[in-house]
Every structure is written in structure tokens, then in C-alpha cells.
Amino acid sequence: MTYSVKFLPHNVSVEVDDNESLIRAAMEAGVHINASCGGGGVCGKCRVLIEEGNVEGGISEQLSAEDQDKGYRLACMSEIASDIVVRIPIESEIDTSRLNQMTGSRHTAKAVYANVDELRQDGLFIPPVEKIYLELEPATAEDNQADVARLINHLRLKHDEHRLTMRLALIRKISDIIREGEFKVTVTIIRPVREDGKNEIVNIEPFDTTDRNFAIAVDIGTTTVFGQALDLQTGEVLSQHGEFNSQISYGEDVISRIIFTEKGDGLEILHQKVIETINTILDKIVKKAGIGRHEVTTITLAGNSTMTQLLLKINPSYIRRDPYVPTSVMYPPFHAREIGIALADHTVALIYPGVSSYVGGDIIAGVMASGMYRSSELTLYMDIGTNAEIVIGHKDWMVCAAASAGPAFEGGGVKFGMRASKGAIEDFSIDPETYEPMIITVGNKKAKGICGSGLIILAAKLLETGVIDSRGKFNRNLDIPRIRKTDDIWEYVLVYKENTQIDRDITITEPDLDNLIRAKGAMYSATLTLLEEIGLTIHDLEKVILAGGFGSYVDLESAITIGLLPEIEPEKVTYLGNGSLLGCKINSLTNALRRDVANVVNMMTNFELASTTSYMDHYMGALFLPHTELNYFPKVKARLERLRKL
Amino acid sequence: MTYSVKFLPHNVSVEVDDNESLIRAAMEAGVHINASCGGGGVCGKCRVLIEEGNVEGGISEQLSAEDQDKGYRLACMSEIASDIVVRIPIESEIDTSRLNQMTGSRHTAKAVYANVDELRQDGLFIPPVEKIYLELEPATAEDNQADVARLINHLRLKHDEHRLTMRLALIRKISDIIREGEFKVTVTIIRPVREDGKNEIVNIEPFDTTDRNFAIAVDIGTTTVFGQALDLQTGEVLSQHGEFNSQISYGEDVISRIIFTEKGDGLEILHQKVIETINTILDKIVKKAGIGRHEVTTITLAGNSTMTQLLLKINPSYIRRDPYVPTSVMYPPFHAREIGIALADHTVALIYPGVSSYVGGDIIAGVMASGMYRSSELTLYMDIGTNAEIVIGHKDWMVCAAASAGPAFEGGGVKFGMRASKGAIEDFSIDPETYEPMIITVGNKKAKGICGSGLIILAAKLLETGVIDSRGKFNRNLDIPRIRKTDDIWEYVLVYKENTQIDRDITITEPDLDNLIRAKGAMYSATLTLLEEIGLTIHDLEKVILAGGFGSYVDLESAITIGLLPEIEPEKVTYLGNGSLLGCKINSLTNALRRDVANVVNMMTNFELASTTSYMDHYMGALFLPHTELNYFPKVKARLERLRKL
């Protein structure tokens, strides 16, 4: 059910879903309400008057009884329960027409998710690792064939399973398990990618355990690592958790990590660090999902080529040296234990294949998750993370390129940067008169920091209101307390410490903005260069897919305003979230993907931006908000000019 | 070149090869010469007179100058250098006709060996693990594919090698090795058994190392373990060595070993013990052959099912329990290190497949080495060892069975038992009047003990001369010093301590003979039972193949006299030696064998003697020399009767 919400005095209406919070409805409508704490009724600033209709909640000790009686509520605590009319108290003298020119409704990229039901309908819901329950004929004097032969012959004759193989560790336990289960056992089989490959029996358990079959998906980012536990019966995500990649203290980007591996036992250390991070995540998600480690049959991992080689303890040194050669881009299935992952002996680790030194398995995972390899629309796939990785193409061809962007989108190199978890500022608006902020956080909790999508919006809004200039520097002439210089660094106070979870003022600083500009500059210039190399322009794109762990709420106008995205119609843009993690999830659910992925990797052409002369020019030009060449962004240019005049 | 040797007063002649020793020629002719020390001129007893022709050597300080001038020589030190006539000094009064009735020329089983040239001619000399030298295109900015892809594509395009795979340990070193070798490398590839299987690249080395490719063959006997180092360029055996299986202190036969594994960490202990033995042998043969461990690409191992499971640390408990089920009879290739074998990371271990709990890989290795699976002659294959294993059949069908024989043939359970190495008494004759022995040892060294083939001959000769009876008990009425009772045990002194290497009298005792009788009884009764089960008799056999490490010199008449072999024409019998080791050697040289062996295993039908009621009756009947039922051995019966009358 949807309701209509009208905001006064702006006289702007918006349609919202049942139970939407009033403050989020206002943000969607582009209506600014002062709000400092992120939600939860702590600061009491988002006081609004319900003139018609009903909301649920909205009452806190920050509201006097008198106000409550008059119909005032806190917007952050009010859930919309009917069509309503809401009046926003405007402290400053500002006329309605000007207010309306300031606002602009939000265009969020449509989120797409992997659809298990679709896989099921298409008959593709066949996980790469399956459990099969067997009732073997007990051994007798007349039929005393070897246990392994009995098992394999049964699978061959009764289950049409062929080309079966197993490792020594399994052979060692088979006789005892068969007898423990009184010749009733469940075997776990990993399917080959090629139809004529070997099926490996990786585990055997007594009796029927087919209802307990779980998988783990892991995205190994340079900055953060995410894991999910999946139920292979239902395809459901049972639990998930993310942690900073603990390699981070040995270098923020892949190059500095590679350099670290070239000294002493640096490779061993970085390998151990990422394994530690993965094992920490495993601890949490396995516990939260209520599953045993021995019930996990696969773990699928994706990362860029350096992360993948560090995971596997393969010297990544040649990745950073001309001509930039990775050791491998395709890997056979491993046993998770072989790598050091704390799962059972039999758990199989599947590593996403990549394309080149700088277009790795994380991108391929995203391309697989996005489905662009099955589409006929010309698509731009952008993974927004520490590295700027871009894929352009469709089902018939694909090209890709990568540049180093730095970790700003993932909260790295940003003073109060954080991942998009509870308390992260994910949306923001600023009163153009008072410069008071409107803060919305993930989960409507007291603010803790700023996530990637919040940072994009922050930069855009600060630019639009002239708080910062196109170089990301604060306007030194604005004399308001929120803009200040601390330890010689200019910053804007988003949330004062009494309204935070961290007992410190949360600010955005000039170095933060500088890191953001370099990150978005790398993304944009990589896109432009790659399009140029294949003789296309922004206008040829039929679809843009954004991926990255920077936050689920991406305001497209803000992304265009800062020059991260080219000017493009919002309806062409979809948001995939963590494409790498999603690709790992889908890989856990359908074996068909593992066949397709090899084709995708083989059809992908890699461009080395480092050896493309125009790239550095494009990059230098992109180190402004939105760009040195404002003609690339005619609509942004027009809007900024219009807003500055108000 | 051959020479004729005539012995007087016997008036018996024999043809011998150039450089044959005179004492061996005498033994071959059935002429007894007293000889106590085994050779080397120590005892001086084998004094003979050269009446015509020449010998080389034969002079020692044991011969007086006068004797030397007369033409006396020591038979054990004389090499025949022309046609000669030799007179043996006969101390007792015995006429020539009687002498001649006592003698009988020896019928040794013809030895067969694997023929590398034959494999080469048939195009089958393709070892399962091959080295290929590659000159890769160096990486450039235009061609910066991953190192693994470069390698695999090169092998695919230039060497027609497909379905290639590799393990993590190899992927980890590939980039460094490629650059160390300046893109010139040698890869080691293990071939699959099935043509459509995967080829695993197991190693990569810088530059061209194809001329250094070696293999190890290992027979894991319950009593003894033998190893050989092979050159895969030439097929030559470079070195070999045998050791007692160090599991022996935990039980002499497979059943007692299995029982030991059922207590505490017994399985781990026995696994470690056999690995220690193998590693000890490896140390010696690798050193002797002058090869590095990293140059060994395969090790092929064969053993009975219990030995195989202990090698692989697989619980063998169900092997000894009704219905006698092994865990597996076929194994995929392993990495030698996985098992604990001290070879390089990349060395592949190939395990010979078996058929059942009591017909293991050692027998299949022998069947493969013997070539019986390619023959159309009905063949009896007997492996004479701790276990009595028998195969009957030809290229179209095969049946097999096994019984426990005990270790007597391999020197176990025999007071002075030893393997057929230097100093082992391997041939024997006894003067029917004086009961003085004629001793021949392996290598003509001073005696150290008795090997399996020597034991067979000893028992036969003692029986023929009435020194023992058909129950293997000494004739208490013979009053000669060599027959005596020590610590309540009757024995015959073969060599007095001054002529031994061990400074103790070497004797054969009644318990030794008892163990021999039980061992040969198991062999014979197993043969008889199996023939009976398939509706055949001894007379249907067209060929008999003897295998076992009991000694290279098998006197067929003696083997028949004690009832180990059925009465059969000597020309039907061939001797394979250690069939298991020979099978391992051939497996190292030709990949074709690995395909054939799967077919052989699949066509083989196993009979469980334990559940064949007639077996125990046959066994009880066989616990006599030659048998309770003398009509099974009409010729032996006639001969014994004739000899007793003399």
C-alpha cells in the first residue's frame, strides 16, 4: 500500500510505501528538515506538524506535551499510516517558490538481486556441490566388494553418477562411516565445470543429512571482506558479516601490498592476514546461521587478482611490473583447508576466475551476477571500490579496464569513513540559508560515521550550496560554527558529539573530499578512456550497472553532480550492491554459472589504462567537481549556476 | 661359449657357460662335493682333481703345494675355462652305479624378465609421468596473458596436450620458475589412465631437464620391502635394495598387524613403520643411483591389501572380519608426500590396484609383469611369500584366491632364515653315506643364513636321504655329529661357526621345517582348492609362473618333492622373481599398463578359501612331505622309495 505525503509550505507531494518513515519521505521529496542525530529521536530537531492524516509513533521526551497535543511529531520516529499533510517549521524567511527551486526529488538506482525462484524455474538451481542419500546393499560373503567400489557402483547404477573420484582423506574414513550408518550414507559430490570432467566425492556421512547443506560466499575486497552463509536447500541468505581486510595495515592499495610481499616473509604475512579476516567472518556467520562447519560444503571466493593471489599465497610481484602478468586467472577447485580456511576437511573452495592483473574475479563475479553477459543491451558495469574497474559490452563482446581509485568509497582515507552498516550517514541535505544538516543513517541509529553513498551525497550537497568549491575546498567566508578549522584542517560538523554513538564530533574534512575527488576521478576517466578506445561515447550506453559496497542508497543526481557518473537518464541505471558477493552467492546456487563464467572470461578483452596515453589527461581533468570541462556535464553546470543565483 | 664338464667317478657330464664355477656345475649335474663354507675357499673341503683341461683360480692356502702340483683345486674357487674332466674324491666306499642313481640333474625354472626393448618396439615405452621441454613466448605488453594460461596454451597448441590441470603448490611457483628459466621450462605431466581424463602438470623446472627423469618401484611385502631406482630415459635399473618391513615387530602376518591397528594409535604406528622402511630404502637407492629426489617423478608401490591400506593409513580392520571387505582396491594417483614418502612435492605415487582383501596389488603387479593376461595358455600364477596367493586363467578370464602361508619362504620363522642376499645358502646337497653337506651361497660368500629357495632344497634333500621323515622330524637313529639336540630342539648343522660370517653354527631345526611345511601346505592346498572350484585339475595347466622373493634359484624337483608344486613338467614352469616389484617397474615404464590393469582387475573373480569347505581338508592333507595322499605325487613316491632302498 502506498500513501501520498504532502509537505508544506513547499507544497511538494511524494508517494511512499506503507510504514515509510516521515524523514525518509521528506528526503525523497527533496524537502529539507533539520535533523542532526540520524534518527531515533535523540536530537529532537526534526519536529514537524501533522496537519492531516495519521502517523504512528513520532513521540519522544524531546517533544513537550503541548506540542504533542498540537500535532507535532518527530519526523525520524514517525511512520506514515495514511495519506498525510505535513508542515515543516521554517526558521528562516524564505519564500515557497525559492524553497521549491531548491528541492529535487531523489532518483535512486533500481536495485537488482539474484532471484533464486528464477533459477529454480529455469532448472538451474543445482549447486556445484550436492548431497545425495544412498541406501547401499550391505556386504555379504557373496558380495564382499571393496567399500569404495560398492559406493561408486551404487552411484553409477542407481543415480547415474559417473566419472567419480575421491581423495585419500575421504578414502580413509569411508569404511567406518559406511558401517556407522549401517550402509545408509549421504555423499557430497562436487560437480566439474566441464560435463566430461570428474565428479569428486568430497564427503561421506552416516544416514541421511541431505537437509543440512550450506554454502559460504565471500567477497575479498582490498578494503573490506564480506561473507554470507547460504542454505543450499532454499537458496536463502542465513547470515552475513563484513570486516575490514586486516591486510590494510600493510598498505591501503594493491600496489603497496604487493611491495610488502617482496620483503622477507611479506607474502606469508598478507596471506595469513586475509585468512584471519575470512576466518573471523566465518566464525560470526556460521554461529549466527546456526550451522556446523562440517555442514558447509562449498565456499566461493572472489577478489581482484592481487587479493586472489594473496589468498592463495601466490607471489603477486609480477602483477605490478610491466607487462603486468598475473600468475593465473583461472583456478581449479581447492579444498578450503589447503588454503587455511577454517572449514571442514571436505569443504570445497571455488575461486572466481579473473581476466588480467587488474580485472579480477570480483569483477567477473559482478558481471555474472548482473546478467549483462546474457543481455543484448550495451551495458557499462562500474565497480566502485578501492579499484575502479569497468566493463563495457553485452552478450557478444566485452571489454574491461581498471585504475586505482583509493579506498574512499569504502570508508578508507576518510576521517569518519565507515562501511554502510548501522549508524552510517547514508543521506544528507543542507539548509541553504542556515547550513544546518539533515542526516539520515543506516537503520536510523545515532550516527557513527559516513559510508560511501553518504559521502557522494555530502559532496554534492556541499557543492550545490557553495559550502565547498569545485576543488573541494571549504568557502572560507562562511561564518557558521559548523564550518571550522581543527588542527589546521578545514571541516564541516555533520553531527555534534552528544548526538553520535562515538562521543566525538563527526565531520567531513578537506582531505576526505580530496580523496573522494581522486577516487571519482579515476572511475570517470577510466570510463571515458575505455569508451574512447572502443570508439563509443556515453550516449551509446543503454544501461549502467553500479556495483560496490559503498551503500545501498545511491542518489544518482549526486553521483552525476560530483562527476562520478556521466550524465545519463536515471532509468538506465541499476544498482547491484556488492556484485562480487552476489556473484559468489549465485555461484553457490547454480552449477550452470561455472560453465558460463569460463566463456565470459574468454570473451573479455582487457585494456591496460597505464599504457593508454589519454588516460592520464582524462584523470587530471576529472580532479574537479564535477570536471574541469563543464561541457561534459551541461545539466550539472546549468543547475549549479541556477542554484548559485538563488 | 659353453664347455663340457665330466665328473668322475660318477661319469656324469654337464654343459656349462664360460666362467661358471666348478662347484655350481657339479650341483647342476647332481654331483655331490663336500663343501661347508658356501664358497670362497675358506673350508677347503671341496678339493677336486682336474684330470683334463683347465680351470682358472681354485688355489688357496687350504691346498698344499703338493696337491696343487698334482692338479687339485678347490671347486668353489675354480672357473671353468675349457672342456674338463674332474675327479671327485669319494671318501666312503660307494659304487658308481649307486652314485649315479643318487644324482639327478637340476631343473631350474626359466627366469623371465620385463623387456624394455620390447616395450620400445611396441611404442609402449611411454612412462606415466613424462617431462616436456617448452620454449614459451616471453610476455609483452601486447601479450600479457597469465603465466598459467601461457603455459597451458603453449602445450595445447605446440604439443597437442589437452585437459591439463595443476595443483595449488605448483601454481605457487610457476611465475618465478618461468622467469628464472627466461621462459624456457621443462614441465612434468602425469598421464591419466582413461584417455579422456585429466593430464596433471605436477612440476615445472627452469630450462631443459628432460634428460633427468627417474622412477622408483617398491614392493611392500609383509616380511620384506624391496625398492628399485629406474632411469626413465633408458628403462634401466640403476640401483636396488631390500629391507625387512619394520612392521614385523608388531606381528609376523597380516592378521596380527590388523589386530595391532585396532588398539590405540596402532594404525598410525604401522603406517609410520612402513613409511620408515620405504624411506630407508629410498635413501640407499637414490644415493647409489646418483640421482636427486627432485628428479624422481613417480614411485609405483604394490603390496597386498593390508600392506596397501597400512601404507595409506586406511583402517584395515574390516579386511580380517567376515565378510572380509577391503576399503578400496583401486586408488587414484597421490602425491608421494601426502603419504609421507620422502620424495619431492611433485613426485606422484601410483598404487597398484588389487582385487579383494586377500588378493592385493602385489599379485596384480605380478600378473601384469608375467604377461599371463595377454596369453591364451591356461596359466597358474603362484606368489610364494608370507601369503599364498594364486591366480589361474588367461586373457579371457581369471580366478584368484589367497591363504595365509607364514613368512618361512622369506626367511621369517626360520632360525637362520634370511632373504636371498649374499651369503644366503641357496643350494644344498648331502652325501647319503656321510651326511656331509654341500653348501652353495648367493655370491659364493661365507654362509650367513638360509634363503627361501635354499630351504626348499634342504627339506627335499633331507627327506630324500631319510635324515627327516615325512612329518619333518629328524631321524633320531642317525648318530652323526651334525644331527643334534640343542635346547631340546633337533637340528642339523649346515655350517660350523668357523666357516660362517656370523660366528655361530648355522643349522636347520625342526621348528623351521614345521613352518616350511605349513607354508608349502597352504600354497598347495590353495592351488588344489581353486582348481577344484573351477572344475579343472593340475593336468589342465599349460603354464606355471612362480613369483616371490624367496631366491632366484628354484629347483623344481625339490619344490615338487616337498609338495609345494604339483608334479608338472619342468618346461612348463617359469620363474618371475619378485613379480610385485617387476610389475611396479613395468608400470613405471609404460602408461599402457595402467589401462590394462583396470581391465585385469575387473575380469578377476575372487574365491574366499575361508568359505570354501574343502580348503581345510586339503590343507590338513598337505601338512606332510610331500602330502598325506602320496598318489598326488606318484613320481616323488617312486623316487623316494627307490632312494630309500639304495
Confidence check: pLDDT of B223 > 60: yes
pLDDT digits (tens, 9 = 90+) for B20-68: 889 988 888 888 888 888 777 888 888 999 999 999 988 888 888 898 8
Interface of B with A in 281-320 (CB under 8 A): 312-315, 317-318
DSSP B19: T
B4, β-bridge pairs? B15
At residue A646, the pLDDT reads: 66
Q: Which of B146, B329, B338 sits opposite A326 (nearest CB)?
A: B146
At residue A245, the pLDDT reads: 94
Which residues from A are below 8 Å from B349, CB to CB?
none
- Tell me the pLDDT band of B192, cut-offs 50, 70 and 90: confident
Confidence check: pLDDT of B548 > 90: no
At residue B220, the pLDDT reads: 96
pLDDT digits (tens, 9 = 90+) for B425-484: 999 999 888 899 999 998 888 999 999 989 999 999 999 999 999 999 999 999 999 999
At residue A115, the pLDDT reads: 66
pLDDT digits (tens, 9 = 90+) for B239-259: 999 999 999 999 988 999 999
Asked if A29 and A55 touch (Cβ cutoff 8 Å), the reply is no
Confidence check: pLDDT of B93 > 60: no
> How many other C-beta atoms can be found within 10 angstroms of the C-beta atom of residue B636?
22
> Does residue B329 sit at the A interface (CB-CB below 8 Å)?
yes
Confidence check: pLDDT of B105 > 70: no
pTM for this model (two decimals):
0.83
CA-based nearest residue to A328, from B175, B441, B45: B175
How many residue pairs bridge chain A and chain B with CB atoms within 8 Å of each other?
Answer: 127
Q: Which of the residues B170, B258, B314 would you substitute to probe the A interface, choosing the one with the greatest number of A C-beta atoms within 10 Å?
A: B314
Q: Are B356 and A144 within 8 A, CB to CB? A: yes
Residue type, A39: G
Q: Which of B149, B175, B338 sits opposite A168 (nearest CB)?
A: B338
- Tell me the pLDDT band of A551, cut-offs 50, 70 and 90: low
Q: Which of B145, B172, B328 sits opposite A146 (nearest CB)?
A: B328
Q: Which of A139, A148, A332 sits opposite B328 (nearest CB)?
A: A148
Interface of B with A in 207-236 (CB under 8 A): none
Instruction: Phi first, then psi: give them for residue A393, nearest 5 degrees.
Output: 150, -160
Q: What's the whole-number mean pLDDT along residues A506-524?
A: 95
- Tell me the pLDDT band of B404, cut-offs 50, 70 and 90: confident
CA-based nearest residue to A406, from A246, A514, A289, A245: A514
Question: What is the value of ipTM here, to two decimals?
Answer: 0.84
Domain architecture of chain B: domains with CATH = 1-105 (3.10.20.30), 128-206 (3.10.20.880), 215-365 (3.30.420.480), 370-406+519-574+603-645 (3.30.420.40)
Least confident of B40-54, B310-324, B352-366: B40-54
C-alpha distance from A611 to closest chain B C-alpha (Å): 8
- Tell me the pLDDT band of B378, cut-offs 50, 70 and 90: very high
Confidence check: pLDDT of A298 > 60: yes
> Does residue B196 sit at the A interface (CB-CB below 8 Å)?
yes
User: What is the Cα gyration radius of chain B?
Assistant: 27
C-alpha distance from B129 to closest chain A C-alpha (Å): 20
pLDDT digits (tens, 9 = 90+) for A189-212: 998 877 677 889 999 999 999 999
Q: What's the whole-number mean pLDDT along residues B392-416?
A: 90
Confidence check: pLDDT of B206 > 90: yes
**Those residues with Cβ within 8 angstroms of residue A508's Cβ, 6 or more apart along the chain or in another chain:** A414, A415, A416, A450, A455, A458, A462, A491, A492, A494
Q: What's the whole-number mean pLDDT along residues A316-323?
A: 94
Tell which phi-psi region holds residue A425, choosing left (phi > 0), alpha (psi between -120 and 50) or beta: beta
Residue entry with cell 664338464: B5
Q: What's the whole-number mean pLDDT along residues A550-562?
A: 83
Q: Which of the residues B136, B144, B202 would you substitute to probe the A interface, choosing the one with the greatest number of A C-beta atoms within 10 Å?
A: B144
Q: Which of A171, A172, A608 sits opposite B141 (nearest CB)?
A: A608
- Tell me the pLDDT band of A608, cut-offs 50, 70 and 90: confident
Confidence check: pLDDT of B633 > 90: yes
Which DSSP string corresponds to B438-503? EEEEGGGPPB-EE-HHHHHHHHHHHHHTTSB-TTS-B-TT---TTEEEETTEEEEEEE-GGGBSSS
Q: Are B330 and A148 within 8 A, CB to CB? A: yes
In the predicted model, what is the mean pLDDT of chain A? 90
Q: What's the whole-number mean pLDDT along residues A308-316?
A: 97
Q: Are B146 and A334 within 8 A, CB to CB? A: no
Q: Which of A172, A174, A323 sits opposite B144 (nearest CB)?
A: A323
At residue B642, the pLDDT reads: 87
* Grid cell for residue A72: 507535532
Measure the CA–CA gap between A365 and A378, rounded to whole angstroms: 19
Q: Which of A146, A165, A313 sits opposite B329 (nearest CB)?
A: A146
In chain B, whose CA is at the least distance from the CA of A200?
Answer: B332
pLDDT digits (tens, 9 = 90+) for A247-295: 999 998 899 999 999 999 999 999 999 999 999 999 999 999 999 999 9
At residue B112, the pLDDT reads: 64
Answer with the residue of higher pLDDT: A378 or A388: A378
Q: What's the whole-number mean pLDDT along residues B134-142?
A: 94
Highest-confidence segment of A11-15, A554-558, B295-299: B295-299
At residue A51, the pLDDT reads: 92
> Does residue A149 sit at the B interface (CB-CB below 8 Å)?
yes
Measure the CA–CA gap between A569 and A393, rounded to whole angstroms: 19
At residue A360, the pLDDT reads: 94
Q: What's the whole-number mean pLDDT along residues B532-560?
A: 87
- Tell me the pLDDT band of A103, cut-offs 50, 70 and 90: low
> Does residue B331 sit at the A interface (CB-CB below 8 Å)?
yes
Confidence check: pLDDT of A554 > 80: no
Q: What's the whole-number mean pLDDT along residues B162-183?
A: 95
Q: What's the whole-number mean pLDDT along residues B385-409?
A: 89
Least confident of B92-101, B235-244, B260-269: B92-101
Answer with the residue of higher pLDDT: B505 or A102: B505
Residue A470 C-alpha from the chain's centroid: 28
CB half-sphere exposure, A2, CA atoms < 13 A:
7
Determine the number of helices (DSSP H) and then strands (DSSP E) in chain B.
Answer: 18, 30
For chain A, give the percent of residues with pLDDT over 90.
Answer: 65
Q: Are A356 and B326 within 8 A, CB to CB? A: no
> Does residue A15 sit at the B interface (CB-CB below 8 Å)?
no
Q: What's the whole-number mean pLDDT along residues B94-98?
A: 60
Q: Which of the residues A156, A177, A327, A355 would you substitute to probe the B interface, choosing the one with the greatest number of B C-beta atoms within 10 Å?
A: A327
> Does residue A196 sit at the B interface (CB-CB below 8 Å)?
yes
pLDDT digits (tens, 9 = 90+) for B4-23: 999 988 888 889 888 888 99
> For the sheet containing B506-509, what is the strand order?
B483-486, B489-495, B506-509
Which residues from B are below 8 Å from A325, CB to CB?
139, 144-147, 175
Tell which phi-psi region holds residue A53, choosing left (phi > 0), alpha (psi between -120 and 50) or beta: left
At residue A382, the pLDDT reads: 93
At residue A485, the pLDDT reads: 94
Q: What's the whole-number mean pLDDT along residues A524-546?
A: 93
Asked if A84 and A52 touch (Cβ cutoff 8 Å), the reply is yes
pLDDT digits (tens, 9 = 90+) for A53-63: 999 988 888 88
Confidence check: pLDDT of B92 > 60: no
Residue entry with cell 604339483: B566
Residue type, A572: K
* Three-class DSSP category at A507: strand
> Does residue A486 sit at the B interface (CB-CB below 8 Å)?
no
Q: Which of B144, B332, B339 sits opposite A324 (nearest CB)?
A: B144
Confidence check: pLDDT of B98 > 70: no
User: What is the Cα gyration radius of chain A?
Assistant: 27
- Tell me the pLDDT band of A170, cut-offs 50, 70 and 90: very high
Q: What's the whole-number mean pLDDT along residues B112-137?
A: 83
CA angle A345, A346, A350 (to 5 degrees): 110
- Tell me the pLDDT band of B110, cut-offs 50, 70 and 90: low
Least confident of A335-344, B124-133, B512-521: B124-133
Q: What's the whole-number mean pLDDT along residues B257-269?
A: 96
C-alpha distance from B44 to closest chain A C-alpha (Å): 58
Confidence check: pLDDT of A394 > 60: yes
At residue B443, the pLDDT reads: 87
Q: What's the whole-number mean pLDDT along residues A609-617?
A: 87
Interface of B with A in 165-184 (CB under 8 A): 165-168, 171-172, 174-176, 179
